[in-house]
Amino acid sequence: MHLPAFAAVEAGLFAGQGLDVEYVPSANAPEAVAAGDADFALTSAVHVLAGQTQAGGRLPVRFVATLHQRNPIVGVVREDSGRRRPEDLAGARAARWNIPWFAREYAGAIRHMGLKAPVLIDAPGGLDEALGSGAVEVLPMWMDDTTPARIQGMVLHHHGEEIPIRAIPLDVPVYSTGLIAADHVPLDVVTRMRDALAGGHELQREEPEPGLAGFRRHFPAVSEEHARVNWALYEPNAFDGGGPGSMNAGRWEDTIPYTAETHGLSTLPAERVYRPELLTPALGQSAAGPVVR
């Protein structure tokens, strides 16, 4: 998700829009933007709704572009389980691992599809152990986060044995991640930032080397192979429908209540979640973790 932002830097797309961009670290992107530590950030809808819920809808931060055009939640299962379709996941035992957010996302997607709720089981001993031993039947995660297993040929390791696995997408048509901006940032600056990120997506798709180089200078511990595979998993979700950066009211109308119900948050008025003036085709179609200022 972050490669296009680095591609935009390397290719001078931000500079071409008259923007001087600096990346700064943050543990909580919406809070960093609200506090004035950054003007923009890449984050997910659930984090913005959580921040707005805590602030009573007064957080001065809203979405100005979307990146994941569809929810990338998947259930990872053993290949020998015989499970192939979302319907095969109904009522299955699913791991609630050290990031419980994924278990909630998974359970929400299962409920949205009208399937029998999963049985959530804590898996403190590790995901490979949980799925390999049969303690759980499903590992909830985002498709983008299956990268290590993809690099290993989609296998998990259990007591020295390599066990083939597969990812079953639940494919819920709601937004997941995007670009947020502080409310004080002028509309013309927001649109230039959005357009540069959209161009970064196109550039990363056509010429991946500059973005990869820029990303790895900031995150040298991430291998190039990991980054390439991760981008290949992210790309289809980003270019679905309107493409990177585009937002439409209809999908937001589905996203807000879906995310609120899934994570037990307030269902907020649309104008407190995103800037309506940025909707497609209001300004046309154009166009992630680090934050930028």
CATH of domain 3-69+176-292: 3.40.190.10
pLDDT in the model for residue 290? 44
pLDDT in the model for residue 155? 74
What is the architecture of the domain spanning 73-169?
3-Layer(aba) Sandwich (3.40)
Domain definitions of the chain by residue range: 3-69+176-292, 73-169
What is the DSSP annotation of the chain? Answer: --HHHHHHHHTTHHHHTT----EE--S-HHHHHHTTS-SEEEEEHHHHHHHHHHTTT--SEEEEEES-SSB-EEEEEEGGG---SGGGGTT-EEEE-SSTHHHHHHHHHHHHTTPPPPEEEE-TT-HHHHHHHTS-SBEEEEGGGGHHHHHTTSEEEETTEEEEEEEEE--B-S--EEEEEETTS-HHHHHHHHHHHHHHHHHHHH--HHHHHHHHHH-TTS-HHHHHHHHHHHHHHHSSTT-TT---HHHHHHHHHHHHHHHT-----GGGTB-GGGSTTTS-S-----EE-
pLDDT in the model for residue 293? 41
Mean pLDDT of successive 10-residue segments in the chain (293 residues)? 94 96 90 95 95 93 95 93 97 90 95 96 84 92 81 70 89 94 97 96 95 94 92 91 90 96 93 93 43 44
Tell me if domain 3-69+176-292 and domain 73-169 are identical in fold: yes
Does this model's pTM top 0.85? My answer is: yes
